[in-house]
């Protein structure tokens, strides 16, 4: 009988679908990751595992799991998985692209406008009872209309983000590993070298996954090239940014503000200097967090597990 490990608590209807396939062992917490030792023990005799980005699939995990056929990652990003090793072992890994694209682009947009219009600072000001009168420059922020917006990472999420810019009459530039002429035609986005993106953007939005090429891409040199009033938004992966360099850039006025959905270490250490900065807005990795989208992501993982356990091709294999 197949054994299926689920590393977070997911709703019962999904568990019932998995139970129709085999014996299910679910970690019964939705906000606390399954402890590593318990995970390594649980996958010993598992044929399938449903994981989140908290679980690292490395040599140690794969050595512990000789019967594993499928790893279904409830995320589009898969930097938590050593994909070469997984492929070499003939294990199938899947992710959840497409279903989360629009929701994640919407979070990026929310974060961008919230930072531009200083919504978090302004709301705290009201909550603290500091609001005394209307002021000519009270929480005066930055317009998105007519701005140059630079998108780093023009995959599905980058394109969905660019589509949302249309109503704001912005100029769109992008930088990506490869050109996307479809995006250029559809969205009027201009492909530019990375330095040009840095130098000319009023807003920079990073949607890039974490790879060897993107790691620390936003470093001290990059922040120095940006406009002093630029706003930097990251909805990709934390390690694409050198956070010490970001802190210095905010302190020195090399850039104006940032909005981050992702950090190098998640959850954030409460002593992290970014938390004390009014011009840094941080949310807890909620890019794809709408109820419908999270349901779709879980369903996609369940579908992929069902297909692979029935010796069929999964819908969304990681290639
Ligand atoms: C979330 O960050 C994801 O990769 O889906």
Domain boundaries, the chain: 3-95+291-310, 100-282
pLDDT value at position 8? 98
β-bridge partners, 206: 152, 234
Same fold, 3-95+291-310 and 100-282: yes
Judge contact between 86 and 65, C-beta under 8 A. no
Is 8 among the catalytic positions? no
Summarize the confidence of residues 240-257 as an average pLDDT: 98
Residue closest via CA to ligand 1's atom 3 equals 75
Judge contact between 154 and 183, C-beta under 8 A. yes
Summarize the confidence of residues 189-201 as an average pLDDT: 98
- The pLDDT tens digits of the residues spanning 77-122 come to 999 999 999 999 999 999 999 999 999 999 999 999 999 999 999 9
Find all residues with CB under 8 Å of 31, minimum gap 6, and list them. none
How far apart CA 294 and CA 301 sit, in angstroms, is 11
Judge contact between 69 and 91, C-beta under 8 A. yes
β-bridge partners, 70: 48, 92
* CA terminus-to-terminus distance, the chain: 28
How far apart CA 79 and CA 315 sit, in angstroms, is 20
- The pLDDT tens digits of the residues spanning 259-294 come to 999 999 999 999 999 999 999 999 999 999 999 999
**Cβ 100 under 6 angstroms from ligand 1:** yes
Is 266 among the catalytic positions? yes
Q: Which of 8, 285, 294, 306 is catalytic?
A: 285
Is 285 among the catalytic positions? yes
Fold (CATH) for 100-282 = Rossmann fold (3.40.50)
> What pTM was estimated for this model as a whole?
0.97
The architecture (CATH level 2) of 3-95+291-310 comes to: 3-Layer(aba) Sandwich (3.40)
- The pLDDT tens digits of the residues spanning 5-38 come to 999 999 999 999 999 999 999 999 999 999 999 9
Residue 312 CB neighbour total at 10 angstroms = 10
User: Per-residue pLDDT for 319 more than 90?
Assistant: no
How far apart CA 238 and CA 218 sit, in angstroms, is 10
């Amino acid at each position: 009988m197949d054994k299926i490990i689920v590393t977070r608590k997911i709703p019962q209807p999904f568990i019932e679908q998995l139970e129709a396939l085999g014996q299910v062992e679910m970690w019964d917490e939705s906000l606390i990751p399954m402890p590593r030792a318990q995970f390594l023990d649980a996958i010993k005799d598992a044929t399938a595992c449903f994981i989140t980005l908290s679980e690292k699939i490395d040599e140690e995990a794969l050595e512990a799991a000789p019967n594993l056929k499928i790893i279904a990652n409830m995320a589009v990003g898969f930097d938590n998985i050593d994909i070469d090793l997984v492929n070499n072992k003939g294990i199938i890994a899947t992710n959840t692209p497409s279903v989360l694209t629009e929701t994640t682009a919407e979070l990026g947009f929310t974060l961008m406008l919230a930072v531009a219009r200083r919504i978090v600072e302004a709301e705290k000001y009201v909550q603290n009872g500091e609001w005394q009168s209307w002021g000519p420059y009270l929480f005066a922020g930055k317009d998105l209309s007519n701005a140059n917006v630079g998108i780093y990472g023009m995959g599905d999420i980058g394109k969905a983000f660019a589509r949302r810019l249309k109503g704001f009459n912005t100029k769109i530039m992008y930088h990506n590993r490869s050109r996307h002429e479809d995006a250029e035609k559809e969205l009027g986005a201009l492909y530019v070298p990375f330095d040009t993106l840095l130098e000319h953007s009023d807003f920079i939005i990073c949607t890039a996954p974490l790879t060897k090429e993107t790691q620390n891409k936003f470093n001290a040199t990059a922040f120095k090239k940006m406009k002093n009033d630029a706003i930097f938004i990251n909805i990709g992966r934390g390690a694409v940014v050198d956070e010490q360099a970001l802190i210095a850039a905010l302190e020195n006025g090399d850039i104006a503000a940032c909005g981050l959905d992702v950090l190098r270490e998640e959850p954030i250490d409460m002593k992290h200097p970014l938390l004390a900065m009014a011009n840094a807005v941080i949310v807890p990795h909620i890019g794809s967090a709408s109820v419908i989208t999270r349901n779709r992501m879980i369903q996609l993982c369940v579908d992929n597990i069902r297909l692979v356990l029935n010796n069929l091709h999964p819908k969304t294999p990681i290639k």
